[in-house]
Amino acid sequence: MALETAVLASGSSGNCIFVAGRNTGILIDAGLSGSRIEERMRSVGYDPAELDALLLTHEHNDHISGAGVMSRRYNLPLYASAETLAAGSDKLGNIGDDLLRPVGESFSLGEIDISTFSLPHDAASPRGYILKEGGVKLGLATDIGCITPEIVSSLQGCDILLLESNHDQDLLRTGSYPPSLKRRIRSEQGHLSNIEAAELLPRLLEGKEGGKPVVILSHLSQENNRPELAYITVKNSLQAAGWQVGEDVILDCACRDEVAGPYSRSQNDRGGISRTG
């Protein structure tokens, strides 16, 4: 196995993704309590004590609320933009300076090479992540207000892709959120809709060779989306672009209340990606 990932939670109530290389375990975001993160890791056969690091995309509570606890409990270094670490310092609590690791454009953790890219969102300096190991590429981008050239170039060619599909535009328009919150979500510093994700994905998969990519639709709104709406919107777009879901690409939706995955991809298994569990 080269890279494996499990989405422990995804949505406005909490986000947390586990990624494993051959010898390295990483959390991306920790928007749940420490005990819930531990419980969900163990439910799919992972030991929290084997974690090596925690990456943070940005400082909003649904991505950072459990990060301080996990860092102190397991002596985990926290990697994030310097601005995110500063903006989230009160939520993180007492973390030793030796565990705060401001990220640049690229760094490595064990055998995993990591690069970052900017995301348009109403946070201090949010980052998306690309993780590569053994020829396998995993990309993560949620909390995206609009599509930028940097996002497209960073995420093209992923073997495993976690991409935001936050809301259905009609549900958001007719829903109970106040007008100010609706404007924030629709803004260029807000969240990606199902239609926007559907329009983006064929561009990201164009020219993909070597195996069957996995796409995990993430950060679905509980009130303004439905998994079946996100799935069919993206599926229709992919099939219109010539991708047969299930045969050419695996498509799934991450959940807020249960683990999605794990999903794995090995350089030695170029014929496809397997979902386990």
* Per-residue pLDDT tens digits for 112-149: 999 999 999 989 899 999 999 988 999 999 999 999 99
The yes-or-no verdict on residue 15 having pLDDT over 90 is: yes
| Token pair recorded at residue 30 | 């920790």
- What predicted TM-score, i.e. pTM, was given to this entire model? 0.91
Query: From CA 238, how far away is CA 161, in angstroms rounded?
Result: 14
3-state secondary structure of 191: coil
Q: pLDDT tens for residues 61-104? A: 999 999 999 999 999 999 999 999 999 999 999 999 999 999 98
Beta bridge mates, 3? 265
For domain 3-275, give the CATH superfamily.
Ribonuclease Z/Hydroxyacylglutathione hydrolase-like (3.60.15.10)
The yes-or-no verdict on residue 256 having pLDDT over 90 is: no
How many Å is the Cα radius of gyration of the chain? 17
DSSP for 127-188, written as a single string: EEEEEEETTEEEEEE-S-SS--HHHHHHHTT-SEEEEE--B-HHHHHHSSS-HHHHHHHHST
Banded model confidence at residue 268, pLDDT cuts 50, 70, 90:
low
pLDDT at 188: 85
The answer to whether the beta carbons of residues 63 and 31 sit under 8 Å apart is yes
Banded model confidence at residue 257, pLDDT cuts 50, 70, 90:
confident
